[in-house]
């Protein structure tokens, strides 16, 4: 059972990685196109909009990937200085808070998405729910990964390996 969960966990990471890279490459390409077309030809109107939407998708899916890799920034000083039993209790409580938040986010995210189903983007006329879809999707993925964490904790395993993230 745990072996299967671990496999699913890794699979989520393996799928999200190429997607995030593709988003980054597309973002670079679309702004390169914006610059080239403005300098040499006439400027295209839709590139900024596409860039902003790509950024939104990269943010949410990348956040899910960071979650899978345990790379979100957290202050773990107090938790790590606790005795093992207390630490496990606190980790468990933390996972429950996380699941509650992410489940609510999935729910309100999908409600928001369906509320905006008639809205279209100003430049490309894309239905905006295509963009808003990413929030319930990423939140559901992270909630699911948290459930795996909970199962692992109950089985007495180490929590997701947290590494400090180099961000400024």
Partner 1 sequence: MTLVLALLFVLFLLMGLPIAIVIGASTMAALQAGGVPLMVVPQQMFSGINSFALVAVPMFVLAGDILAQGEISKRLIAFADSMLGFIRGGLSVVSVLAGVFFAAISGSGAATTAAVGASLVPELKRKGYDPASAASLIAAAGTIGVVIPPSVPMIIYAVIAQESVKSLFLAGFVPGIAMGAGLMIIAVIQGYRRAYPSGTALSLKTIVRTFLSASWGLMAPIIILGGIFSGIFTPSEAAVVAVNYAILVSLFIYRDLTIRGLYQIILRAGVTTAVILFVIAASSVLSWALASWQVPNAIATFALSLSDSIFVLLLVIMVLILVTGIFLETASALIILTPMLLPLAAQLGIDTVHFGIIIVVGLAIGMVTPPVAINLFVASSTTDQPVERIARAVVPYLIVLVMVYLLIAYLPLLLGW
Instruction: Decide whether 55 or 124 has the Cβ nearer to partner 1.
Output: 55
Residue 1: CB minimum distance to partner 1, A: 26
| 58: CB partners within 8 A, 6+ apart | 20, 23, 24, 27
Pick from 15, 93, 124, 154 the residue near partner 1 by CB under 8 A: 93
Q: Give the Cα separation of 84 and 79 in Å (integer).
A: 10
For residue 115, the Cα-to-chain-centroid distance in whole angstroms is: 22
Pick from 94, 126, 147, 151 the residue near partner 1 by CB under 8 A: 94
Pick from 12, 20, 145, 148 the residue near partner 1 by CB under 8 A: 20
Among candidates 83, 70, 73, 63, which has minimal Cα distance to 20? 63
Quick note: the x/- pattern for partner 1 over 49-88, rule CB under 8 A, is --xx--xx-xxxxxx-xxx-x-xxxxxxxxxx--------
| 64: CB partners within 8 A, 6+ apart | 12, 16, 138, 141, 142, 145
Q: Give the Cα separation of 141 and 137 in Å (integer).
A: 6
Q: Which residues are near partner 1 by CB under 8 A?
A: 17, 20-21, 23-25, 27-28, 31-32, 34-35, 48, 51-52, 55-56, 58-63, 65-67, 69, 71-80, 90-91, 93-94, 97-98, 100-102, 104-105, 108-109, 111-112, 115, 131-132, 135, 164-168
């Amino acid at each position: 059972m745990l072996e299967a969960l671990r496999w699913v966990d890794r699979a989520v990471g393996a799928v999200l990685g190429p997607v995030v890279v593709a988003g980054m490459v597309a973002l670079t390409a679309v702004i390169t196109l914006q610059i080239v077309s403005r300098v040499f030809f006439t400027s295209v109107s839709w590139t900024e909009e596409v860039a902003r939407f790509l950024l939104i998708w990269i943010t949410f899916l990348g956040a899910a990937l960071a979650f899978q890799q345990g790379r979100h920034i957290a202050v773990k000083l107090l938790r790590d200085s606790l005795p093992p039993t207390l630490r496990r209790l606190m980790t468990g409580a933390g996972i429950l808070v996380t699941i509650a938040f992410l489940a609510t986010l999935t729910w309100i995210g999908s409600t928001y998405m369906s509320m905006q189903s008639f809205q279209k983007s100003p430049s490309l006329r894309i239905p905006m729910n295509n963009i808003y879809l990413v929030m319930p999707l990423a939140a559901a993925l992270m909630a699911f990964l948290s459930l795996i964490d909970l199962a692992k904790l109950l089985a007495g395993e180490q929590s997701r390996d947290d590494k400090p993230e180099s961000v400024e």
